[in-house]
């Protein structure tokens, strides 16, 4: 069982070998123990929505073709998909709600640890809402989540043609809470049993995530913590320092991690760390927390989703602090094999084996200090004989908010449009999403991104793809050398990499904003743009919601792992072709990253031809 088939990241390979040697279990081992995985589950044809079941449909057509209630494979697959979209939209939007809540407390003067770092963006938002005070804006944004009737504010950013289409289809969303509740209602026994109707509501729900909950998260995080600007940092496990207190922040919401950044740079804390025998306090991130802190603070990234256990297994982590989402419960038992303190902070997310230090906005600063102190005090418990830190890290450039891109282009998107028109940039590829041990870690990401840039496709990245690209050196300006001549020229003139890191997964809303701005500037719909999306190694329900809102917004999207819909030919066909006639875009599934990139390039070329480029 070669580690090279598990990960293409040399640091992860080194740690996988180390784990094997010391008998530490990882996600890859657990995946193996799950084999063979349930075929009904893989096809999406099992239903546990009521207690007449569980029911399953025989995919070979020899056994049951209906559940006890009479649900067919089409109904079961569509219902399951709708529940996944609901869960994904809920995760993003609940994150957005937490940020909105914090914003409200800040405005009311009840969260003294925070301030407003981007007052200009705050002004722009107030103008957009037609309001003249931050308090009114906070109330209006809080109100978005539960809006009983549409429209939600940010769908006004969508090109008019698209908005019209959504209205015509009845998928112009109301508040995300309402859409999610309706998902749960419709999938209850005996409610919505029309697969097309179910999927249309899935699209509506996902739009209320992308253009609602997620976008609120991004916009208000920028207001509170600052809108990202280009900066340099480093990625991979080599950022862990052998002689310092290593504090790893993991999860998603910057509300907590930004406070930890502030606490860790407090001179008293650094002094305390020195007193404990450490040279300093070293902070690094995992998953989207890493992306958030990198984008705004230049904090280095230790790794992406599948790196989390391996990072803990270095034996050099004093504390791993987590909030919500993509945090493996396996970290609890693993932490107990080392001196590492595994610290949970969200009332919504507790873990076996974790120390719970609950975080609240009004006391955020103190809790952050307490956490940093706990990490420092743990430094002496580290067993140097068990420390193994792969000496591997790569320089990376990040911080490409839409505002930063516009400013790098000299104040408008025109130079980008010109480059697209002239063909120096063939089109835009948005490559995002997770790791999944079903695919060699980062292989899907890197194979696809390399192929795209080689073919002059400018890549926009977020989430775990961004970290994969950072680790592989694709986020440095020098990576322009690996791009086709046209893209290379543009990148070198601007001093930027051919792959632009736009942030965390909620920041895919930045890509939506950029797409809408480009389409508006060209006077076309988003579905007319020479652009394509991809999630080569996706695994989470959030990714399902993302895929759905990206396609609903008009962007052809390629998935690298097969979604559990293949048990219904009708649903699979609707998603991979029929949707084109409905929302002007559809999904494709292609596990081979180079072939997947070719599908994206073919689509980009056909869009160029239609635009007469
Ligand atoms: O929200 S890409 S594994 S970290 S779900 Fe999770 Fe997937 Fe990574 Fe961020 Ni997004």
Q: Is 326 in the pocket of ligand 1 (CB under 6 A)?
A: yes
Q: Is 45 in the pocket of ligand 1 (CB under 6 A)?
A: no
Of 325, 357, 386, the residue that ends a domain is: 386
223 Cα: distance to centroid of ligand 1 (angstroms): 23
Determine, yes or no, domain membership for 367: yes
Q: Does 209 lie in the same domain as 241?
A: no
For a pocket test of ligand 1, which of 464, 466, 506, 509 has the largest count of ligand atoms closer than 8 A to its C-beta? 464
For a pocket test of ligand 1, which of 542, 545, 546 has the largest count of ligand atoms closer than 8 A to its C-beta? 542
For a pocket test of ligand 1, which of 293, 325, 510 has the largest count of ligand atoms closer than 8 A to its C-beta? 325
* Domain of residue 355, residue span: 237-386
Q: Mean pLDDT across the stretch 51-57?
A: 97
CATH at 219: 1.20.1270.30
273-305 b/e with 16+ CB inside 10 Å = b? Answer: beeeebeebbbbbbbbbbbbbbbbbebbbbbbb
| pLDDT-above-70 percentage for the chain | 100
350 Cα: distance to centroid of ligand 1 (angstroms): 19
What pLDDT digit, counting tens, does each position of 543-566 carry? 999 999 999 999 999 999 999 999
Q: Does 137 lie in the same domain as 39?
A: no
Determine, yes or no, domain membership for 49: no
Q: Does 559 lie in the same domain as 431?
A: yes
What pLDDT digit, counting tens, does each position of 17-47 carry? 999 999 999 999 999 999 999 999 999 999 9
Sheet holding 301-303, edge to edge: 355-356, 341-344, 319-322, 245-250, 281-286, 301-303, 231-235, 394-398
Q: Mean pLDDT across the stretch 306-311?
A: 98
304 Cα: distance to centroid of ligand 1 (angstroms): 8
Determine, yes or no, domain membership for 230: no
What is the number of the ligand 1 atom nearest to the C-alpha of 463?
2
For a pocket test of ligand 1, which of 287, 292, 301, 539 has the largest count of ligand atoms closer than 8 A to its C-beta? 287
Q: Is 251 in the pocket of ligand 1 (CB under 6 A)?
A: no
Question: How confident is residue 66, by pLDDT bands cut at 50, 70 and 90?
Answer: very high
| pLDDT-above-90 percentage for the chain | 100
Q: Is 542 in the pocket of ligand 1 (CB under 6 A)?
A: yes
Q: Is 285 in the pocket of ligand 1 (CB under 6 A)?
A: no
Question: How confident is residue 1, by pLDDT bands cut at 50, 70 and 90?
Answer: low
Q: Mean pLDDT across the stretch 509-532?
A: 97
Instruction: Tell me: pLDDT of 10 over 90.
Output: yes
The answer to whether 141 and 216 are in contact (CB under 8 A) is yes
Q: Is 540 in the pocket of ligand 1 (CB under 6 A)?
A: yes
Of 173, 192, 225, the residue that ends a domain is: 225
Q: Does 221 lie in the same domain as 243?
A: no
E strand residue ranges, 225-325: 231-235, 245-250, 281-286, 301-303, 319-322
For a pocket test of ligand 1, which of 96, 539, 543 has the largest count of ligand atoms closer than 8 A to its C-beta? 543
Q: Where does 523-592 have alpha helices with state H?
A: 541-552, 569-573, 579-583
Q: Is 434 in the pocket of ligand 1 (CB under 6 A)?
A: yes
Instruction: Tell me: pLDDT of 610 over 90.
Output: yes
Instruction: Tell me: pLDDT of 109 over 90.
Output: yes
pTM over 0.95? The answer is yes
Q: Does 134 lie in the same domain as 83?
A: yes
What is the number of the ligand 1 atom nearest to the C-alpha of 539?
7
Question: How confident is residue 589, by pLDDT bands cut at 50, 70 and 90?
Answer: very high
Q: Does 449 lie in the same domain as 524?
A: yes
Determine, yes or no, domain membership for 396: no
Q: Mean pLDDT across the stretch 72-90?
A: 98
- The residue whose CA has the least distance to atom 4 of ligand 1 is 287
For a pocket test of ligand 1, which of 288, 308, 433 has the largest count of ligand atoms closer than 8 A to its C-beta? 288
Of 323, 353, 386, the residue that ends a domain is: 386
Give how many domains the chain has, as a whole number.
4
What is the number of the ligand 1 atom nearest to the C-alpha of 540?
5
Cis before 36? omega within 30? yes
Q: Does 481 lie in the same domain as 601?
A: yes
Q: Does 314 lie in the same domain as 349?
A: yes
Q: CA quadruple 456, 460, 461, 466: dihedral positive or negative?
A: positive
Q: Is 100 in the pocket of ligand 1 (CB under 6 A)?
A: no
| 3 state DSSP class of 387 | coil
What pLDDT digit, counting tens, does each position of 378-398 carry? 999 999 999 999 999 999 999
287 Cα: distance to centroid of ligand 1 (angstroms): 6
Determine, yes or no, domain membership for 54: no
Q: Does 541 lie in the same domain as 406?
A: yes
Q: Is 546 in the pocket of ligand 1 (CB under 6 A)?
A: no
For residue 386, the model assigns a pLDDT of 96
Q: Is 433 in the pocket of ligand 1 (CB under 6 A)?
A: yes
For residue 307, the model assigns a pLDDT of 98
Q: Is 305 in the pocket of ligand 1 (CB under 6 A)?
A: yes
Q: Is 505 in the pocket of ligand 1 (CB under 6 A)?
A: yes
What is the number of the ligand 1 atom nearest to the C-alpha of 504?
9
Instruction: Tell me: pLDDT of 354 over 90.
Output: yes
What pLDDT digit, counting tens, does each position of 156-192 carry? 999 999 999 999 999 999 999 999 999 999 999 999 9
Determine, yes or no, domain membership for 51: no
| Radius of gyration of the chain measured on its C-alpha atoms | 23
Q: Does 344 lie in the same domain as 454?
A: no
For a pocket test of ligand 1, which of 253, 308, 434 has the largest count of ligand atoms closer than 8 A to its C-beta? 434
Q: Is 536 in the pocket of ligand 1 (CB under 6 A)?
A: no
Q: Does 323 lie in the same domain as 296?
A: yes
CATH at 448: 3.40.50.2030
Instruction: Identify which of 536, 469, 473 has the alpha carbon closest to the alpha carbon of residue 503.
Output: 469
Question: What is the rounded average pLDDT for all residues in the chain?
Answer: 97
Determine, yes or no, domain membership for 359: yes
Q: Does 351 lie in the same domain as 331?
A: yes
Q: Mean pLDDT across the stretch 198-206?
A: 98
Q: Is 544 in the pocket of ligand 1 (CB under 6 A)?
A: no
As beta bridge partners, residue 394 has 235
539 Cα: distance to centroid of ligand 1 (angstroms): 8
Determine, yes or no, domain membership for 557: yes
Question: How confident is residue 131, by pLDDT bands cut at 50, 70 and 90?
Answer: very high
In this predicted complex, what is the ipTM?
0.97
For residue 574, the model assigns a pLDDT of 98
């Amino acid at each position: 069982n070669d580690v090279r088939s598990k990960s293409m990241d040399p640091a992860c390979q080194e740690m996988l070998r180390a784990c094997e040697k010391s008998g530490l279990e990882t996600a890859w081992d657990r995946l193996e123990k799950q084999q063979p995985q349930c075929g009904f589950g893989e096809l999406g044809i099992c239903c546990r929505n009521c207690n007449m079941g569980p029911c399953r449909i025989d995919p070979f057509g020899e056994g049951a073709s209906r559940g006890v209630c009479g649900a067919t494979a089409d109904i079961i697959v569509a219902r399951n998909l709708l529940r996944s979209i609901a869960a994904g939209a809920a995760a993003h939007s609940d994150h957005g709600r937490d940020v909105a809540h914090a914003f409200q407390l800040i405005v009311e003067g009840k969260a003294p640890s925070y301030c407003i770092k981007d007052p200009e963006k705050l002004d722009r938002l107030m103008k957009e809402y037609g309001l003249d005070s931050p308090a009114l804006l906070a109330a209006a944004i809080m109100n978005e989540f539960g809006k009983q009737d549409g429209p939600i504010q940010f769908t006004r950013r969508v090109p008019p043609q698209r908005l019209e289409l959504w209205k015509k289809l009845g998928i112009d969303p109301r508040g995300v809470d309402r859409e999610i509740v309706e998902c749960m209602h419709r999938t209850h026994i005996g409610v919505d049993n029309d697969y097309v109707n179910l999927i249309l509501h899935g699209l509506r729900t996902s739009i209320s995530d992308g253009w609602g909950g997620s976008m609120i998260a991004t916009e208000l995080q920028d207001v509170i913590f600052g809108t990202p600007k280009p900066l340099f940092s480093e990625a991979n496990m080599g950022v862990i320092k052998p002689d310092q207190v290593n504090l790893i922040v993991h999860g998603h919401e910057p509300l907590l991690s930004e406070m930890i950044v502030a606490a860790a740079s407090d001179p008293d804390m650094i002094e305390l760390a020195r007193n404990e025998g450490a040279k300093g306090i070293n902070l690094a991130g995992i998953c989207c927390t890493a992306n958030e802190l990198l984008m705004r603070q230049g904090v280095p990234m230790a790794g992406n989703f599948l790196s989390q256990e391996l990072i803990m297994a270095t034996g050099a982590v004093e504390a791993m602090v987590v909030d919500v989402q993509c945090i493996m419960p396996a970290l609890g038992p693993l932490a107990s094999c080392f001196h590492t303190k595994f610290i949970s902070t969200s009332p919504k997310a507790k873990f076996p084996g974790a120390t719970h230090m609950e975080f609240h906005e009004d006391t955020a600063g103190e809790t952050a200090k307490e956490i940093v102190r706990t990490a420092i005090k743990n430094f002496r418990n580290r067993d140097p004989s068990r420390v193994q830190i792969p000496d591997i890290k790569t320089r990376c450039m990040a911080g490409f908010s839409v505002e930063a891109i516009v400013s790098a282009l000299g104040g408008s998107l025109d130079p980008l449009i010109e480059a697209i028109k002239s063909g120096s940039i063939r089109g835009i590829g948005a490559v995002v999403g997770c790791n999944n041990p079903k695919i060699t870690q980062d292989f899907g990401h890197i194979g696809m991104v390399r192929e795209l840039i080689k073919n002059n496709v400018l890549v926009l990245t977020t989430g775990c793809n961004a970290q994969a690209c950072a680790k592989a050196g694709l986020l440095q300006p020098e990576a322009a050398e690996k791009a086709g001549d046209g893209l290379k020229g543009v990148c070198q003139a601007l001093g930027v990499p051919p792959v632009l890191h736009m942030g965390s997964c909620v920041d895919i809303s930045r890509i939506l904003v950029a797409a809408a701005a480009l389409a508006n500037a060209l006077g076309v719909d988003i579905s007319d743009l020479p652009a394509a999306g991809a999630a080569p190694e996706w695994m989470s329900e959030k990714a399902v919601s993302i895929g759905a809102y990206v396609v609903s917004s008009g962007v052809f999207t390629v998935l690298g792992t097969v979604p559990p819909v293949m048990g219904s030919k009708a649903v699979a066909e609707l998603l991979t072709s029929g949707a084109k006639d409905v929302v002007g875009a559809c999904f494709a599934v292609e596990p081979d990253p180079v072939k997947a990139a070719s599908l994206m390039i073919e689509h980009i070329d056909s869009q160029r031809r239609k635009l007469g480029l």
